[in-house]
Amino acid sequence: MPIKRIRTHLQSDFFKSLTVLLSGTLIAQAIGYAIAPILTRLYNTAEMGELALYMRITGFVAALATLRYELAVPLPKNEGHSYLLYRLSILIGVIVLLICGTILTLFVLSGVLPKFEWWYIVMIVIGSACLILINVGTNWSIRTGTFSLISNQKIYNSFISNGLKWFFAIFSWSYFGLILATVLGYVISSFSFIKNFTKIRGKYKGYVSKRKTYALMKEHKEFPLLNLPHVIVDNGRDMLVATLIFAYFSDSIFGSFSHSYNMLRIPIMLVGVSLSQVFYNQAVAKYNNKEVLKPLFQKTTLILTAISLIPFTVLYLYGEPIFSLVFGSNWGDAGRYSETMSFWLMVNFVISPVSSLPLILGKQKIAFSLGVVSALIQVIPLWVIPELYGNSEEVFVKTLEVISYSQAVWLVFSFFVYYRFVTINDTNLKTAS
């Protein structure tokens, strides 16, 4: 019986889709993590901090630009309606990006942002545009089940960006080289989705209608009204965290913090993102077919809990010596920070896929409230504690401890909120039947 059950799981659509996504993700991340010990010896913590800030800015702009309509792409039962949302997301993204680019340019020319150079603005616009295409294209691929497209673009991105970061270090281009390499990786990887979009336009040409598009905008208005503020809070939090660390501490501390945070997110990047995309696809299908969600919820969280125990425990116990050995002696502080943040990021890893449930179940108001509290937990200590106790590195570590353990507790609470959503949904289905 156990063998038969295992065989059934291996032959399921869930496992097949996860395998396709994981293969590309593992290759892409393996390239990145294999070259990371080289890059950390070629670039210092301050330069890495500048790259991290750039990536937070472009991520914020890209998330804002589509008004979050791309998340609605997998939801309609009619694939033609999904295509209209796909098309709408790109159109809105282009308009918003042009407005943002114009405003940033005017700010720089007027001297409001004197530290921003012209090439930095160009990089923000190009990087954000490519991220928009990648985000929208990814959700279309989730809708159509073409997970190989997502997998391939991750490989292209990782190979190009990491290879160029190493190459540009030869010319001592500092953080300009890091940012340029990242942008070129975005550009190349977005070509997969551009090619796919041009290929499918003819197939769905008959569905194009302003009236239908407007109706779909109204039907999914909760995304700009509820999910967009949530994203503004999340990404605004990341921007504020970066700004506060730069302001109260230093670019080197932010570089170490950012590197530590990214390394702790390895399990999320290797497994969590792929599993999240498959979970979203499967959960939407079950919800539309009026099937219960609790078994999928439980299976997903149990898998992630089992995966997370060993790596996060090792980092909690030996983060500092591991980072010093792998990335160089200059990165020992990053390892120290990883010890502090390990439990927080472990819980975050476990609940990352199921956090999409409010989008499916129409619980975005509650999800927004959870996100606001989470943001405040991160931002307030970084503002208050340095004001009271100074800006030494020891103060930063203590601040990070307050944030990490508070975040972990709050995420556990959020997990039970999501579980409650699923329980109510399944109970209502059984009552209706």
Give tens-digit pLDDT for 218-268: 999 988 987 788 788 888 898 899 989 988 998 899 999 999 998 888 767
* pTM, full prediction: 0.76
pLDDT in tens, 362-420: 888 898 899 899 999 999 999 999 999 998 999 999 999 999 999 999 999 999 999 99
Residues contacting residue 247 through CB under 8 Å, at least 6 positions apart = none
Looking at residue 117, what DSSP letter applies?
A: -
Q: What whole-number distance in Å separates Cα of residue 69 and Cα of residue 63? A: 10
Q: What is the CA radius of gyration of the chain?
A: 22
Residue segments in the chain with a per-residue pLDDT below the cut of 70: 1-25, 112-116, 267, 269-270, 272-274, 433
Query: Domain segments of the chain: what residues?
Result: 24-219, 221-433
CA dist 297 and 307 (Å) reads: 16
Single-letter residue type at 425: N
3-state secondary structure of 241: helix
pLDDT score for 10: 46
Angle at which helices 13-42 and 147-169 pack, to 10 degrees? 10
CA angle 142, 143, 144 (to 5 degrees): 95
SS3 367: helix
pLDDT of residue 307: 87
